[in-house]
Chains A and B, each alone.
Chain A
């Protein structure tokens, strides 16, 4: 079912080596530019040939090195939509959509094109050249053209990057409709965090030509598997830590970062860890509590309380970022606090305060 690929491709100074499988769903290839996402789409579409591997989709074999199968891009019947510059500038909207059709009788052509124009809300634009319609309309035309022959899969290369945010919202909805109606695998390439988060029930993180992690959005954004994924996501408060001892009774581990000890739940991580191992510790900025003076502190928080100084405060539109340095160990934390909580804390630069780390704030990668 769906789409299943194993691809090895070497080009000058870069190697793509990936293997994944998706169902008839929207899957997001998420990574920075140059990670091999677009190359993956080109290989699937047949515009480039893999050195090794296979490409199969719902029972069709598009490519298989071992049995020498390599179907031409024309015969793979896949829908492929690029970031922009998709449409043929010398044809009208209607001609562009009709170009996606194979040879058909005139009446059938017309009804099919009319259907697509209605479905993608392009009425009234039929006879315009692409240069006179908006970016969102262009992408709708490109989708209509790619889908008119009911392709076996839909490949989208940064389809929303050129659009501004209200349009992107609309396009995301449209994409869900498309997926529901056509019931085909949709592979979407993006480097945009918001796109990946909002579209991706199934995200594949691409880093340097490899799939570094596969999972649902919370798996990726809240529970990154490796420091590489964490760094790609731009996560703050990443520390190298050593596991000092294990408390079997309480099911907790004691970690040390620059002489400062943290107590974490033995479950906070993806893989089992041993005493003596070096691991990467992520402290989520939005899960750190700044304690108000004289306020009662729950027992469960008492294990990770640190005193330190507020170094700086930076206001963002939805929250405040507090830069905090521990007195012992001089470890720098970035802390995100919602505005209402920030107002109650009476913080100022130079103030000495205590922070408490909830179990939810600590994540271990090994």
Chain B
């Protein structure tokens, strides 16, 4: 949200570069995103090494890694939607709040974000749905450890691969229904704005 607010309200050098970095996971193949995550969080990665030396623990192949991967691929959707929602708030209203003596932070809390709420919620629902369906990057960083790091899409892949059709069918139907509901909710929220 902070990143989106920055992108929507401020002009600074490297703004577009920042926007591109945060949007990249949307268009990159999930395996590439996963690869970047390994570089960053792997035991010899930039952040992973520090973490390992401090805590003697690596995030790789734990369910935290699955969460991290889902987060990384869903983030661009969230930021895009939030940025668009904040930018769609009437600048006059924000200026009115400033001239009435309210600070930028207070204005963000009481005016800008409440008015952008619908777009932000829609973005959140969409990115949650996207995170649920994450497959490639998760497989790269969390692996496929049954009962531990096998997310639903991954276990569908495993069941289908091993010929366990009845389980796969059940999961696919459940998953499709759930995603449909999420899209419906997201549409309900965006319709009123645009």
Give the B-binding residues of A (Cβ under 8 A): 42, 45-47, 72-80, 82, 85-86, 88-90, 99-100, 102, 145-146, 149
Contact = CB atoms under 8 A, between A and B. Distances in A.
B99 A86 contact: no
Contacts of A85: 90, 92-93
B44 interface: no
Nearest to B106: A74
Between B101, B102, B103, the greatest number of chain A beta carbons within 10 A of the residue's beta carbon is seen for B101
Q: Chain B contact residues: over half helix, strand or loop, or mixed?
A: helix
Contacts, number: 53
Given A85-B90, A86-B92, 16 more contacts: A47-B99, A72-B98, A73-B98, A73-B99, A74-B98, A74-B103, A78-B99, A80-B95, A82-B92, A86-B93, A88-B111, A90-B114, A90-B115, A99-B100, A99-B110, A145-B100
A304 to B, nearest CB: 52
A149 B102 CA distance: 12
Between A74, A77, A146, the greatest number of chain B beta carbons within 10 A of the residue's beta carbon is seen for A74
B31 interface: no
Contacts of A80: 95-96, 99
Contacts of A86: 92-93, 96
Contacts of A73: 95, 98-99
Contacts of B93: 85-86, 88
Contacts of A88: 93, 96-97, 111, 115
26 contacts: A45-B95, A73-B98, A73-B99, A74-B98, A74-B99, A74-B102, A78-B99, A79-B99, A80-B95, A80-B96, A82-B92, A85-B90, A85-B92, A86-B92, A86-B96, A88-B96, A88-B97, A88-B111, A90-B114, A99-B97, A99-B100, A99-B110, A100-B100, A100-B101, A145-B100, A149-B101
B92 to A, nearest CB: 5
Contacts of A146: 99-100
A89 B115 contact: yes
A74 B107 CA distance: 11
Nearest to A89: B115
Contacts of A90: 114-115
Contacts of B115: 88-90
Interface in B87-126: 90, 92-93, 95-103, 110-111, 114-115
Interface in B48-103: 90, 92-93, 95-103
A2 B124 CA distance: 50
A42 B103 CA distance: 17
Between A76, A79, A100, the greatest number of chain B beta carbons within 10 A of the residue's beta carbon is seen for A100
A146 B110 CA distance: 17
A137 B96 CA distance: 18
Given A89-B115, A90-B114, A77 B95 contact: no
Contacts of B95: 42, 45, 47, 73, 80
B90 A102 contact: no
Given A47-B95, A89-B115, A75 B90 contact: no
Contacts of A76: 99
A264 to B, nearest CB: 49
B101 A74 contact: yes
A75 B115 CA distance: 24
A47 B92 CA distance: 10
Contacts of B98: 46-47, 72-74
Interface in B158-186: none
Nearest to A45: B99
A76 B98 CA distance: 10
B145 to A, nearest CB: 47
A42 B99 CA distance: 10
Contacts of A78: 99
A71 to B, nearest CB: 12
Contacts of B101: 74-75, 77, 100, 102, 149
A145 B111 CA distance: 15
A82 B114 contact: no
